[in-house]
Amino acid sequence: MSRLMRKFGYDISNDRVNELTKKYHINMIAGEELVEVVLEDWEDVVFTIRYKTSHYIHDVQNFGNVVTAKLVPLVEGMRFEIIEPVTKANHPWLMENVVVGDVLEYEPNSVYGSINRYQGLSLKVKEGVSQINFSHVRWVPS
């Protein structure tokens, strides 16, 4: 059983990713979509969606044993508001801090190899494109 843990920092097997991909039809997600996931699968489904698709997960709600979330395709120029301070302490790769309330744009950047799609988004920061972790942003619909 092959583990993806070393590459992405999340302990999950390829078999588990394939199982969830089939169970929740993750390869068929194209546009905006609502997903319903059994609570016990939720964390692994989050990883699988971020690993297999280019969607942002938002509006997550827990209804007992079922979690629902809306998925939105990530496109260049999508705006994300900073909701937690982004400092060198929690994002050591940044040249300068980003403050709560700043709005940054998504920049799909395959050249920037240090973006870990499971952990964060490539956003335009003053000095260029950098990863900002999901826990520090919120999507701002147009």
Residues 43 and 26 in one domain: yes
pTM for the whole structure = 0.87
Find out whether 20 and 26 touch, Cβ atoms under 8 Å. Answer: yes
Residue 42 and residue 98 in one domain: no
Whether 98 and 81 have beta carbons less than 8 Å apart is answered as no
In this structure, the answer to whether residues 47 and 105 fall within a common structural domain is no
Task: Enter the tokens of residue 55.
Answer: 């969607």
Residues 66 and 83 placed together within one structural domain of the fold: no
Query: CA–CA separation, 139 vs 142, rounded Å?
Result: 9
Number of domains in the chain: 2
User: Any idea what DSSP says for residue 1?
Assistant: -
Domain limits for position 33:
5-73
Examine the domain organization and report whether 96 and 134 are in the same domain: yes
Asked whether residue 57 falls in the same domain as residue 85, the answer is no
Between CA 62 and CA 46 the distance in angstroms is 14
**69 in the same domain as 10:** yes
pLDDT string in tens for the chain (142-residue length):
455 555 666 788 889 999 999 999 998 988 899 999 999 999 999 999 998 899 999 999 999 999 999 999 999 999 999 999 999 999 888 888 899 999 999 998 755 555 577 888 989 988 788 889 999 999 999 8
